[in-house]
Structure 1
């Protein structure tokens, strides 16, 4: 009996994970293009789009003691349509983005995940997530090629190769496309990044908006499960993790105020798959509405990750300088995670409600990685 109890204790201890990255999304670099094709491109910094508010980053690092920011941008702005996806950048846009990344990483000493917020599509972000040509789709003459995607990532990685606080996110939420094509594009991005000499952590998404609950399920238009292909990725440095999004409302969209989807049961198959394939994951988007129900569901999600050693980090959706009284997630009246703002009712936003009640108590301050090359170790 004693030996049995000891064995159970040791097993539980071995399964207890360590969250080493914890933070928030900074959404705004993708703003200003929704509407008609070409609208807001390239756009005006500070008018159509913005990446961060430095004072917000200060609050999150100095007061909340997080260490991770996922910073969104648009590939159509980074790589102008006139020259196409690849190694030719809009240097003005890149410089604005670089300033934000350098403030987070060099001034504040936190990690920054570079997030091309494109749904693995390029050339028309006007009706995201559905507009634009799927990268690598050889049946679409307007589509950027997988080789161009590799060239894009090689160039971007070259520019951050010496910044150990950068993490590379291959693309935001691929969906409704062949899962083996996502594998090809992911592999091309990894090859481009490693070919540039960059050793930092890479996060690779799957299909079905990279939803954790659907990782082992057929998604979209009958596309194969992500689990069928994403264990085939090859990284010579073994420093690639799986990028997961997981919202907790009825359809996993993050658009409803009530939470109904429990993390433990919905992520169980993904967790087993990660364990079987000796892989790690981060949940880089999640959120909940401003109500006690969601406070509990969000807290349960964060506790679930902390109790399973295949999860190395998380980032909540979303803060950002341009959200204003609009909601980033989870019901019309929740507001964003931008500190000091109000929701559409003139009440405190999600930073004062969802963050304060569900996220802040789960920030593992003592365990967070504070310096060095972003890695799985």
Structure 2
């Protein structure tokens, strides 16, 4: 798999309208196929799409995912949401669940999602998905445990 990022922070919202999709649609393998050439898109759920605010205000479906999935399907392409997330608050649990549900329903063109801040970020980072150790076990954050985990959302298959 080769990920093809666009411009404007490779935002799913502007990927088509901003010209990234059209420009990257010209990228082909040496044999002329497009196999494993995947569009790399990001999308946060806060008010300014920066991923710096705890509250989520949208599921991004109408303004971002619907136009992108329509374009991908029409052009025989696929994408991977390589950055998404929100704060550990109820609004994000709901909106992320809706976004992931839409992506799962369109898995022929949206291959999946990756939560941002799932690495060694400080646990007080606004979008932290880092589990915490309570002394006897590890606890996932609210967003991971209630929306992003395949064990919870039942929308994606986990890798065994």
Whether TM-score is above 0.5 comes out as yes
- Picking from 131, 143, 151, the partner of 1:354 is 143
1:260 matched to 2:57? The reply is yes
- Picking from 210, 214, 233, the partner of 2:27 is 233
The alpha carbon displacement at 1:258 in A equals 1.4
The alpha carbon displacement at 1:296 in A equals 0.3
The alpha carbon displacement at 1:364 in A equals 4.1
Change (3 A) 1:369 1:278: farther
1:301 matched to 2:99? The reply is yes
Preserved CA contact (<8 Å) 1:324 1:341: no
Q: Which has more radius of gyration?
A: 1
Query: 1:363, 1:211 → 2: CA distance?
Result: 26
Give the structure 1 partner of residue 45 of structure 2: 248
Preserved CA contact (<8 Å) 1:319 1:337: yes
- Picking from 327, 335, 338, the partner of 2:130 is 338
1:209 matched to 2:9? The reply is yes
User: TM-score when scaled to structure 2?
Assistant: 0.83
Give the structure 2 partner of residue 87 of structure 1: none
The alpha carbon displacement at 1:273 in A equals 0.8
Preserved CA contact (<8 Å) 2:100 2:155: no
Preserved CA contact (<8 Å) 1:305 1:311: yes
> CA RMSD of the aligned region, Å?
2.3
Preserved CA contact (<8 Å) 1:209 1:245: yes
Secondary structure of the equivalent of 1:243? strand
Structure number with the higher strand fraction is 2
1:313 matched to 2:102? The reply is no
Query: 1:341, 1:244 → 2: CA distance?
Result: 32
Give the structure 1 partner of residue 123 of structure 2: 325
The alpha carbon displacement at 1:284 in A equals 0.9
Preserved CA contact (<8 Å) 1:263 1:304: no
The alpha carbon displacement at 1:317 in A equals 0.8
Secondary structure of the equivalent of 1:315? strand
Query: 1:324, 1:227 → 2: CA distance?
Result: 34
The alpha carbon displacement at 1:289 in A equals 1.2
Preserved CA contact (<8 Å) 2:7 2:20: yes
Secondary structure of the equivalent of 1:318? coil
The alpha carbon displacement at 1:369 in A equals 5.3
Runs of 4+ in 1 over 3 A off after TM superposition: 367-370
Give the structure 1 partner of residue 77 of structure 2: 279
Change (3 A) 1:363 1:318: farther
Query: 2:47, 2:70 → 1: CA distance?
Result: 23
